Amino acid sequence: MVRFIHAADIHLDSPLKGLAKRHNLPTDKILAATREALVNLVTLAIDEKVDFVLLAGDVYDGEPEELKANFHFNQQIGRLNQKNIKVVMITGNHDAKSKISKPLSPPKNLTILSTDQPESCEITKDGEVIAII
């Protein structure tokens, strides 16, 4: 049986514009929620021993002001790499704006599919193809 997790629209470090205008909200906790969601997703993938994780766009929320979101993403994908869990990603309209991540070396278990032309990726397990994305 093939096991995988599909996720989209994580929007790491989204500024959630307008949030600061509201009073009595746990703003820091809300702003940290996207990072926590990614940590939870990775932990679930490891706990459930999935074969791969499919990220279908908008991991980022446009151009990050700092590299922190990119380092956090690479760190979490690295946790999956340690467990030999592959990650296949296609970028979304917000990711396309994220030029700051380009100089960072992605973990070796991350495959980013092209948005310019049709492309596929084979997922293998024990030398056999178990999925084609």
Structural domains of the chain, with CATH: 4-17+24-132 (3.60.21.10)
100 vs 124, residue with greater confidence: 124
Contacts of 40 (CB under 8 A, 6+ apart): none
What's the pLDDT at 96?
52
Question: What is the C-alpha separation between 93 and 56, in angstroms, rounded?
Answer: 11
Average pLDDT of 114-126?
Answer: 90
Report, as an integer, the average pLDDT of 60-82.
Answer: 81
CB-based contacts of 47, cutoff 8 Å, min separation 6? none
Q: What percent of the chain has pLDDT over 90?
A: 45
* Model confidence, pTM: 0.82
Mean pLDDT of 75-93: 90
Taking all residues of the chain, what is their mean pLDDT, rounded to a whole number?
83
So what's the pLDDT on residue 69?
A: 78
| CA distances for 11 relative to 4, 47, 91, 105, 129, angstroms | 21, 23, 11, 20, 31
Q: What is the mean pLDDT of residues 43-67?
A: 84
